Amino acid sequence: MQVDLHAWGSSFDHLADEVWAMMNEMKGRNYFRSHAPHSWCPRLNLYETAEAFLVCLELAGMPREQIDVRADGGVLHVRGVRNKPAVPVEDADVSVHLMEIDSGRFHRKVPIPSDVDADRIKATYRHGYLWVILPRTVGSGESENT
């Protein structure tokens, strides 16, 4: 059985031409190297001292009013919506070449240790970082010998 490679090759060339045309069209519509903003999760650090647990979330660009912090059922919930950064150039035709800053809705859940005094939990937001202080119950950080 003989296979006509020329016929197969020209079908492949046609497909390659269509893919390149589609990619060029996407580039022209500002879709180049971007990803969907619907599935992001802010980065989080956890710390511990003798007096408290500390949770730090990276939330740059968010207004304080759009951050919801709640402790419920032994879980710390941090929710919000971060908008895409606004381009600071007015009346300009801007093309997007790369988008790495995540945006959209998020919901982080952090289990709260049993020795946390839920009534004294405090949150502060400054310089793009949300700090949640989870104070230990009085006496939980002390040694049993004192």
CATH number of the domain that residue 86 is part of: 2.60.40.790
User: Which of the four pLDDT bands, split at 50, 70 and 90, describes residue 60?
Assistant: very high
Determine the Cα–Cα distance for residues 84 and 9; give it in Å rounded to an integer: 44
| pLDDT (mean) for 49-76 | 96
Q: Look at the chain and report how many structural domains it folds into.
A: 2
Same domain, yes or no, for 57 and 120?
A: yes
Q: What percent of the chain has pLDDT over 70?
A: 74
Q: What pLDDT sits at residue 95?
A: 84
Task: Report the chain's mean pLDDT, rounded to a whole number.
Answer: 82
Scan for tokens 């119950």, then name that residue. 137
Q: What share of the chain is helix, strand, coil (3-state, %, to 5)?
A: 20, 35, 45
Q: How far apart are CA 53 and CA 114, in angstroms?
A: 11
Banded model confidence at residue 9, pLDDT cuts 50, 70, 90? low
65 and 86 fall within a common domain: yes
69 and 4 within one domain:
no
Q: Are residues 106 and 51 in the same domain?
A: yes
Beta carbons within 8 Å of 49's beta carbon, 6+ residues apart: 141
In this predicted structure, what is the pLDDT of residue 122?
A: 97
| Cα 117 to Cα 138: distance, rounded to the nearest angstrom | 8
Type and span of the H or E element at 70: strand 67-72
pLDDT grade for 3, boundaries at 50, 70 and 90: very low
User: Both 56 and 126 in a single domain?
Assistant: yes
- Provide the domain limits for residue 22: 1-32
Q: State pTM to two decimals.
A: 0.68
In a domain, residue 120? The reply is: yes
Cβ atoms of 99 and 33 closer than 8 Å: yes
Please determine, for residue 53, whether its predicted confidence score (pLDDT) is greater than 90. yes
Which pLDDT score, from 0 to 100, does residue 71 have? 95
Q: Percentage of the chain surpassing pLDDT 90?
A: 55
Average pLDDT over residues 97-107: 91
Residue 84 lies in a domain: yes
Confidence of residue 11 (pLDDT cuts 50, 70, 90): low
**Residues 79 and 129 reside in one and the same domain:** yes
